[in-house]
């Protein structure tokens, strides 16, 4: 076998004794099997060689194989493929060694596995429930033995107990879980001494929707509508990740024309969210006029979305095999026209913001996330790039039409609110360049191919750089062209713990702007 030292091939050859077997699947994935449930040796080997652990999740295979499977998804800095290391967990001993001490990024993910599947993460530093709240009964909803129509008894018992505040003059400030406006529930419990924040405790998963359970036994063609419901402001990105997984499982390549349309819509989704965040950050430091301009620009993109797809939030456009309908020449002309106006007026907006010394004073050195902490926590997307993490799925694992354009990833080291806003500014400018490049190559052609029935037990991973960061969808197909399992990883799952680090030492009045600079999804976390 020919191996490449700077890729997974070389590492698998060097670590041959760590794996039972491995195989490449398609162009984007490698599956490697372990003989036991202890992934610590292989994880240490891969991390020592520059690999990143992107996700950890489980599946219930007790009916077919009398075991559960754990999957550890690794990324290599010089390889466009993902490596999925599979470790068996016997059903008669449902436990596995925790990695959370060495890799804090998997803290919540391992605890989710405990909650959903009842697999014990041995020696986990904080084994408390994370997804199921404390007063839930002792159930494990992602086990196959748990029917989706189960009616649970009334919840009883103690609710979540927060760490007590200690010391003279130290007080708690509870915020939530119900908030003003339309945002979903999340509880922020601050410990403060005067105005400075000593620490913050988070509690999420108040409105868990059971989406991963709902995917089970769902026909493949209907799954995309559920994927679009995971997080409303990222509907196209989640739909794209799901469709890519389905297409890889079915061995289907979408038409180039469809790939270009997908790319344009992914960038429009990035733009309308980023410009809204820029305006919201300005509002939180009292610069309301800047937010008024940003809101007008967001509305411009939302109306363009509706013109191109029939949906302001881009729902109902993507499908396995491509997109649901083609564009007429006048729609493409309208896209070009609107983006020219947007480009000019966005630069006017940034001129207003960047010449405001008071705004810069409030944002610079506020809410700093240290690059080392960001790496330890596995922070992705905007927050990661503002804290020195040079990573972007569009460049590192090209999909849709991203392989035909240049993606320059904006990276800053300071990790403050100002740089998180600046990453958004840079990405909007790059989105305009990407759309222009992709539009110039649009040629009449098919917008979709038919999807054949997918045989059972096909596994595949779909990865997309959503506007918040890396989105992963992993599927296993079942009999009758249905889904056996769909694992979803929204970027917010990685990034909420980073907010805890970023607020420490700041004053309470700066929390809203720090929180907005991350702008994480409750819905994506509570999937």
Residue 145 has a pLDDT of 94
pLDDT band at 163 (very low <50, low <70, confident <90, very high): confident
3 state DSSP class of 207 = coil
pLDDT at 166: 78
Question: To 10 degrees, the CA torsion angle through 286, 290, 296, 298?
Answer: -80
Mean pLDDT of 131-153: 90
Residue 44 has pLDDT above 50, yes or no: yes
pLDDT at residue 3, rounded to an integer: 40
pLDDT value at 1 more than 50: no
pLDDT classification of 242: cutoffs 50, 70, 90: very high
DSSP-derived secondary structure letter, 232: G
Task: Provide the pLDDT for residue 248.
Answer: 95
User: Which residue has 């419990």 as its token pair?
Assistant: 189
What DSSP letter does each residue of 388-411 carry, written as one string? T----HHHHS--TTGGGS------
Contact 174, 187 (CB under 8 A): yes
Instruction: Kindly state the average pLDDT of the residues 404-425.
Output: 97
| Percent above pLDDT 70 for the chain | 99
CA separation for the pair 234, 519 (Å, rounded): 12
Q: Residue 7 above 90 pLDDT?
A: no
Task: Find the angle CA(115)-CA(118)-CA(119) to the nearest 5 degrees.
Answer: 110
Q: Is the pLDDT of residue 2 over 50?
A: no
- CA-based nearest residue to 194, from 511, 520, 507, 519: 507
pLDDT of residue 502: 96
Give the model confidence (pLDDT) of 72-108 as tens digits. Answer: 999 999 999 999 999 999 999 999 999 999 999 999 9
Range with the poorest average pLDDT among 114-128, 178-192, 446-460, 482-496:
178-192
pLDDT digits (tens, 9 = 90+) for 433-475: 999 999 998 988 999 999 999 999 999 999 999 999 999 999 9
Pairwise CA distance, residues 300 & 46, whole Å: 46
User: Which of 495, 517, 494 shows the shortest CA–CA distance to 506?
Assistant: 517
Q: What is the pTM of this model?
A: 0.95
The pLDDT-based confidence of 161 (bands split at 50, 70, 90) is confident
For residues 138 and 123, give the distance between their C-alpha atoms in angstroms, rounded to a whole number.
Answer: 20
Which of 38-42, 175-179, 262-266 is least confident? 175-179
Give the pLDDT score at 390: 96
94-103 residue pLDDT tens: 999 999 999 9
- Residue ranges of domains in the chain, CATH in brackets: 8-122 (3.30.460.80), 170-203 (no CATH), 211-525 (1.10.645.10)
For the cut 60, the answer to whether the pLDDT of residue 5 exceeds it is: no
Q: What digits encode the pLDDT tens for the residues 316-344?
A: 999 999 999 999 999 999 999 999 999 99
The residues, ordered by sequence, that sit 6+ positions from 101 with a Cβ below 8 Å of its Cβ are 123, 125
Q: Are the beta carbons of 22 and 32 closer than 8 angstroms?
A: yes
* 70, 40 contact by CB (below 8 A): no
Rounded distance, CA 88 to CA 144, Å?
17
Residues 6 or more apart from 326 whose CB is under 8 A from it? 257, 261, 447
Q: What is the pLDDT of residue 514?
A: 96
Q: Among residues of the chain, what percentage have pLDDT more than 90?
A: 81
**Distance in angstroms (rounded) separating the CA atoms of residues 88 and 125:** 22
Q: Write down the pLDDT at residue 426.
A: 98
Give the model's pLDDT for residue 112: 96
What pLDDT band is residue 368 in, cutting at 50, 70 and 90?
A: very high
């Amino acid at each position: 076998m020919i191996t490449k030292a700077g890729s997974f091939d070389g590492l698998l050859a060097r670590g041959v004794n760590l794996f039972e077997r491995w195989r490449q699947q398609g162009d984007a994935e490698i599956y490697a099997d372990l003989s036991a449930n202890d992934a610590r040796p292989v994880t240490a080997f891969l991390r020592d060689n520059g690999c990143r652990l992107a996700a950890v999740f489980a599946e219930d295979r007790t009916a077919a194989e009398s075991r559960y499977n754990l999957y550890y998804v690794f990324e290599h800095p010089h390889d466009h493929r993902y490596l999925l290391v599979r470790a068996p967990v016997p059903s008669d001993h449902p436990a596995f060694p925790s990695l959370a001490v060495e890799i804090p990024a998997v803290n919540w993910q391992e605890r989710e596995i405990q909650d959903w599947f009842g697999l014990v993460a041995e020696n986990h530093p904080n084994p408390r429930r994370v997804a199921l709240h404390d007063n839930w009964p002792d159930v494990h909803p992602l086990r196959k033995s748990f029917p989706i129509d189960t009616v649970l008894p009334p919840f009883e018992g103690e609710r979540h107990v927060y760490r007590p505040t200690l010391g003279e003059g130290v007080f708690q400030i509870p915020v939530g879980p119900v908030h003003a406006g339309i945002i979903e529930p999340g509880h922020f419990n601050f410990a403060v001494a005067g105005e400075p924040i000593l620490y913050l405790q988070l509690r999420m998963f108040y409105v868990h929707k059971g989406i991963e359970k709902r995917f089970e036994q769902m026909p493949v063609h209907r799954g995309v509508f559920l994927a679009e419901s995971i997080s409303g402001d990222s509907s196209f990105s989640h739909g794209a990740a799901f469709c890519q997984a389905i297409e890889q499982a079915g061995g289907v390549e979408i038409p180039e024309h469809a790939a270009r349309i997908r790319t344009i819509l992914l960038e429009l989704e990035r733009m309308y969210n980023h410009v809204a965040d820029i305006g919201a950050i300005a509002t939180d430091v009292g610069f309301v006029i800047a937010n008024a301009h940003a809101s007008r620009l967001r509305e411009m993109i939302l109306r363009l979305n509706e013109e191109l797809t029939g949906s302001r939030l881009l729902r109902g456009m993507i499908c396995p095999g491509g997109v649901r309908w083609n564009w007429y020449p006048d729609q493409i002309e309208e896209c070009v026209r609107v983006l020219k106006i947007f480009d000019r007026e966005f630069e006017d907006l940034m001129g207003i913001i960047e010449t405001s010394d008071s705004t810069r004073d409030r944002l610079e050195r506020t809410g700093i996330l240290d690059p080392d902490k960001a790496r330890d926590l596995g922070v992705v997307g905007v927050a990661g790039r503002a804290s020195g993490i040079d990573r972007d799925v569009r460049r590192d694992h090209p999909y849709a039409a991203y392989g035909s354009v240049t993606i320059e990833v904006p990276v800053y080291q300071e990790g403050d609110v100002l740089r998180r806003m600046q990453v958004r500014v840079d990405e909007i400018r790059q989105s305009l360049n990407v759309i222009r490049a992709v539009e110039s190559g649009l040629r009449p052609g098919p917008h979709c191919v038919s999807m054949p029935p997918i045989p059972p037990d096909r596994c595949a991973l779909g990865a997309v750089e959503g506007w918040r960061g890396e989105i992963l969808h992993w599927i296993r197909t079942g009999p009758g062209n249905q889904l056996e399992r769909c694992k979803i990883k929204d970027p917010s799952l990685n990034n909420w713990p980073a907010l805890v680090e970023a607020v420490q030492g700041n004053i309470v009045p700066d929390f809203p702007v720090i929180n907005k600079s991350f702008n994480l999804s409750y819905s994506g976390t509570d999937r």
